[in-house]
């Protein structure tokens, strides 16, 4: 009888574990990461405290993010205070270089890039949630073998890993258009920007989710690239709520980066873009749907202009 009870208990444990794993893999999963926190009044025209709304939104939804810090934008008392706030709330504090240089430029050497990365590391390493993840500015990981492999070896030697993006969407361009609009008319209706933002981010998320599923045969834990800007201060809550409504599961960034997909290292040149883009490019099977660069304002401008025009005609 005791053996029977043990056997039944083991079956129940296996069933529970199997259900847990199955339930996790039957829906898309997404985390939210932020690049380029900034306190410069020129880029935060209504004051940096306004951007605390991003932190409040993350807390309201009960998720932890990863903040990828560009050193030059926070190398000030106000910038250090900003990092303390995010650190105190339990978000990962990660490296996004000091100068935000374009690695593919012939003017930027491997040695220069390494020194720049270390300069940012010195600014963030004393935080409790300091995490050795590096996100390449512009998602450009090297246009030559020397740069690509040299910097990868450099990161590995420091115990760093690539803070890869799986979903890229150039949210910065929508933010740029919002700021331009508000400069012309501080009372402008931002509703069409909100609607376009939600539609655009979800469309790109679905594209990369479907591509990731084809590549891996499962629902990976995604990292969405967003920016620390007015757009997300205004509409991040709407974005998170939309993903929940669409049946996606929100996960912490730390949890997402533990997904096995982030152990993949692509063998493409030029290197970079979304990790999923790189894996698809490497496979050679998806040339008909891949574009270069993977995401940029050139793909959004026409769509946004059309959307704004149609909104005005309603």
Give the per-residue pLDDT at 44. 46
To which residue do tokens 């599961």 refer? 249
- Of 202, 229, 253, 232, the C-alpha closest to 57 is 232
Tell me the average pLDDT of the chain: 91
Instruction: List Cβ neighbours of 192 (8 Å cut-off, separation of 6 or more).
Output: 307, 308, 311, 312
pLDDT class of 40 with cuts at 50, 70, 90 = low
The pLDDT, as a whole number, for residue 7 is: 36
**Segment among 18-22, 91-95, 230-234 with least mean pLDDT:** 18-22
Nearest to 228 by CA among 95, 35, 52: 35
- Measuring CA to CA, which residue among 174, 210, 208 is closest to residue 296? 174
Return d(Cα 133, Cα 127) in angstroms, integer: 14
In a domain, 13, yes or no: no
Contact 98, 117 (CB under 8 A): yes
CA atoms within 13 A on the CB side of 312: 7
DSSP 248: P
- The answer to the question of residue 114 being in a domain is yes
Separation of alpha carbons 234 and 189, rounded Å: 13
Half-sphere exposure of 142 (CA within 13 A, CB side): 19
Q: What is the pLDDT of residue 42?
A: 43
Q: Is residue 171 part of a domain?
A: yes
Where does residue 284 fall: left (phi above 0), alpha (psi -120 to 50 degrees), or beta otherwise? left
Give the pLDDT confidence score for residue 314 in this predicted structure.
Answer: 64
Indicate the number of domains in the chain. 1
Question: Does some domain include residue 7?
Answer: no
Between the two ends of the chain, the Cα-to-Cα distance in Å is 73
User: If pLDDT is split at 50, 70 and 90, which confidence band does 11 have?
Assistant: very low
pLDDT band at residue 39 under the 50/70/90 scheme: confident
Please report, rounded to a whole number, the percentage of residues in the chain having pLDDT higher than 90.
86
Sign for the CA dihedral angle at 134, 132, 71, 128 comes to positive
- What's the pLDDT score for residue 49? 61
Burial of 120 (0-12, 13-18, 19+ CB in 10 A): buried
Picking from 27-41, 95-109, 172-186, which range would have the lowest pLDDT averaged per residue? 27-41
pLDDT at residue number 312: 77
In this structure, of 145-159, 234-248, 300-314, the range with the lowest mean pLDDT score is 300-314
Round to whole Å and give the CA distance between 185 and 188: 5
Domain carrying residue 249: 26-312
Contact assessment for residue 79 and residue 53, using Cβ atoms and an 8 Å cutoff: no
Please indicate, yes or no, if residue 178 is contained in any of the structural domains: yes
Classify residue 246: in a domain, yes or no: yes
CB neighbours of residue 122 within 10 Å? 10
Token pair listed for 84: 């303390």
Q: Residues of the chain with pLDDT > 70: what percent? A: 88
When pLDDT is cut at 50, 70 and 90, the band that residue 146 belongs to is: very high
- pLDDT tens digits, residue range 13-36? 434 333 344 334 689 999 999 999
Retrieve residue 250's tokens.
């929100």
Q: 200 with 300: CB under 8 angstroms?
A: yes
75 within domain boundaries: yes
Domain assignment of residue 14, yes or no: no
Flag the least confident range among 29-43, 131-145, 241-255, 267-281: 29-43
Helix (H) or strand (E) holding 149: helix 145-157
Strand ranges inside the chain, DSSP E: 29-35, 66-69, 92-95, 130-134, 140-142, 161-162, 221-227, 249-250, 271-272
263 confidence band (pLDDT: 50, 70, 90): very high
CA 237-240-243 angle, to 5 degrees, is: 150
pLDDT at residue 12, rounded to an integer: 40
Q: Is the pLDDT at 1 greater than 70, yes or no? A: no
Q: How confident is the model at residue 172 (pLDDT cuts 50, 70, 90)?
A: very high
CATH number at residue 234: 3.20.20.370
User: From CA 66, how far away is CA 32, in angstroms rounded?
Assistant: 7
């Amino acid at each position: 009888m005791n053996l029977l009870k043990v056997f039944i208990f083991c079956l129940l444990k296996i069933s529970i574990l199997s259900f847990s794993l199955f339930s996790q893999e039957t829906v898309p999963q997404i985390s939210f990461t932020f690049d380029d926190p900034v306190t410069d009044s020129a880029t935060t025209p209504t004051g940096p405290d306004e951007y605390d709304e991003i932190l409040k939104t993350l807390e309201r939804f009960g998720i932890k993010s990863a903040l990828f810090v560009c050193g030059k934008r926070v190398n000030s008392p106000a910038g250090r205070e900003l990092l303390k706030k995010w650190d105190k709330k339990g978000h990962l504090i990660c490296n996004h270089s000091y100068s935000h240089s374009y690695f593919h430029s012939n003017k930027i050497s491997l040695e220069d890039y390494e020194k720049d990365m270390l300069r940012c590391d010195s600014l963030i390493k004393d935080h409790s949630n300091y995490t050795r993840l590096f996100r390449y500015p512009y998602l450009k990981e090297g246009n030559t073998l020397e740069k690509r492999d040299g910097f990868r070896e450099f990161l590995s030697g420091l115990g760093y890993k690539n803070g890869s993006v799986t979903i890229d969407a150039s949210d910065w361009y929508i933010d740029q258009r919002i700021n331009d609009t508000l400069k012309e008319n501080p009372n402008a209706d931002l509703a069409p920007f909100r609607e376009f933002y939600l539609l655009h981010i979800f469309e790109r998320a679905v594209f990369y989710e479907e591509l990731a599923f084809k590549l891996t045969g499962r629902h990976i834990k995604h990292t969405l690239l967003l920016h620390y800007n007015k757009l997300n201060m205004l509409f991040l809550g709407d974005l998170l709520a939309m993903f929940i409504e669409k049946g996606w599961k929100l996960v912490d960034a730390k949890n997402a980066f533990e997904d096995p997909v982030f152990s993949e290292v692509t063998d493409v040149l030029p290197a970079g873009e979304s990790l999923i883009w790189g894996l698809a490019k490497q496979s050679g099977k998806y040339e008909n749907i891949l574009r270069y660069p993977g995401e940029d304002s050139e793909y959004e401008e026409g769509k946004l202009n059309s959307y704004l025009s149609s909104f005005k005609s309603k």
